[in-house]
Amino acid sequence: MDSCFCRNDINSNVTKPKCHKNDIDIYQMPSKNNSVKEIFSRLSGKYRINRIIDNYGYGEGIAYFLQLNSQSFRQDKFKSKPAERTKVREQRLDSKNLLVSSFVNDAVPESLNELIYKEELQIHYNDYTHKILANKEYKYILENNNIVKYFAKAENSLFHRLDFIDNSRATGSHLCGSDEYNATYIFLNPDSFTLNYQVLGPQKDYNINTVFNRI
pLDDT less than 50: residues of the chain: 1-3, 5-24, 26-27, 29-30, 70-106, 108
Write down the pLDDT at residue 67: 85
Q: What does the angle CA 182 – CA 185 – CA 187 come to, to the nearest 5 degrees?
A: 175
Write down the pLDDT at residue 47: 99
Please report, for the chain, the start and end positions of each structural domain, with discontinuous segments joined by +: 32-214
Write down the pLDDT at residue 114: 94
Pick the CATH number of 32-214 from 3.40.470.10, 2.40.128.20, 3.20.20.140, 1.10.1740.10: 2.40.128.20
Write down the pLDDT at residue 130: 81
pTM exceeding the 0.85 threshold for the entire prediction: no
What is the rounded distance in angstroms from the CA atom of residue 82 to the CA atom of residue 87?
9
Please write down the HEC assignment for all residues of the chain.
CCCCCCCCCCCCCCCCCCCCCCCCCCCCCCCHHHHHHHHHHHHCEEEEEEEEECCCEEEEEEEEEECCCCHHHHHHHHCCCHHHHCCCEEEEECCCCCEEEEECCCCCCCCCCEEEEEEEEEEEECCCCCCEEEEEEEEEEEECCEEEEEECCCCCCEEEEEEECCCCEEEEEEEECCEEEEEEEEEEECCEEEEEEEEEECCEEEEEEEEEEEC
Q: How far is CA 34 from CA 28, 81, 172, in A?
A: 11, 38, 19
Write down the pLDDT at residue 156: 67
Strands 179-189 and 45-53, sheet pairing: unpaired
Write down the pLDDT at residue 96: 37
Radius of gyration of the chain (CA): 17
Overall size of the chain counted in residues: 215
Write down the pLDDT at residue 14: 42
pLDDT tens, position by position, 163-182:
999 999 999 999 999 999 99
What residue type is assigned to position 170 of the chain?
A
Strands 146-151 and 99-103, sheet pairing: unpaired
Residue 37 has phi, psi (to 5 degrees) of -65, -40
